[in-house]
Amino acid sequence: MKTKLISNIILISAGLTAACQSGEEKQAAPDPFAISSEKLSFKVDTLYQELENPWGMTWISDGTMLITERKGEILVFKDDQYTGEKLAGVPAVHEVNQAGLLDIQTHPNYADNGWIYLSYAKPVEGGGATAIMRAKVQGNSLVEKEDLIITAPAVEGGRHFGSRIVFDKDNYLYFSNGERGSNPENAQTLENFHGKIHRIHDDGRVPEDNPFVNETGAVASIWTYGNRNPQGLVYDKANDRIFGIEHGPKGGDEINILEKGKNYGWPEITYGIDYDDSIITEDTVKAGMEQPIHFWRPSIAPCGSMIVTSDRYPEWKGNLLVGALKSQHIARVELAGNNYANEEKLLQDIGRVRHVAESPDGYIYAVTEGTGLLIKLIPQE
């Protein structure tokens, strides 16, 4: 039954009838599985259908793909096929609601140093705390594990943990950390880790030129603040800029260009309202607080995101692809310099798209919740 459901979702996304009534004839088409988007046609290759709550994915040098499951597993894929194996040595996680094992990234120089990086909710006294760990893969296990940074304070719940990892051209590591939901004011104080984007060296040291490193009482790793629940973080190498893509409340999801030391406003300004329809603030603009380059109202619940760099999709090159949880599609966002220009919905109703990523050989992959898919987009000539 699940295989049939998945097939139906793919066919619906292609704009076709997924299941014909008995006696009806299917219309002939040159390629019934090609999906025509605004700028190119592509097919969807469904590689796996049994994911539960996938979060992050990355590729290591031998062509192996690793996918994290929030409950604390790392699944191993080889040549687009699930090997049936999971890495041993994964750290214990505080799995509550949105918290658990989250993002995974390889070091930009992985081929030389072998480091991979995990973002996870670490079980500590008081509940869970977002931690960044680095480790190496030896055989089928994580070894040389080291927590580089552990955020504070810990919380018992599991709301608004973020959390994504990106590296910039100088190999600085940035990670996002949500404000924990019930304490939105966390985002406006520099004295705790929550509701922030952080910047550290690849070995966990705090850079001396971080914006608040010399401010008394401030957390030295903070790069930006006033961030609500950033589940998307994208480094645009061509333009040396970082996009933070975060959940608003009811409406007010945002795309921000993250700049050193800037305040992105939450909860002092927002384009959303609370989930019970009450007003969070009357203000959408305030001095000293940054404006998003785009916001969604109603909310799409944006999550893992990427920027297209591959020549396999020339018509999409430089576009942001944003996974949508609530709206269950991939948003293709066109940019004009630092401004939002246009948007297209891809693969509507494919499932809750948790992450979108580009492989080393230039193909686009996505993972979904609910429908449990790992898919690959194959461009058509």
**Which residues are the active-site residues?**
160
The end-to-end CA distance of the chain, in Å, is 33
Instruction: For residue 232, give the H/E element and its range.
Output: strand 229-236
Cα–Cα distance for residue pair 287/285, rounded to 1 Å: 7
Cis peptide before 267 (omega within 30 of 0): yes
Look at strands 241-247 and 253-258 and give their pairing.
Answer: antiparallel
Cα atoms in the 13 Å half-sphere on the side-chain side of 322: 34
**Phi, psi angle pair for 207, to nearest 5°:** -60, 140
Residue 249 near residue 272, CB atoms below 8 Å? yes
Helices (H), the chain: 2-13, 110-113
Q: What would the DSSP string read from start to end of 59-125?
A: E-TTSEEEEEETTTEEEEEETTEEEEEE-B-PPP---STT-SEEEEEE-TTHHHH--EEEEEEEEET
CA angle 106/130/208 to nearest 5° reads 70
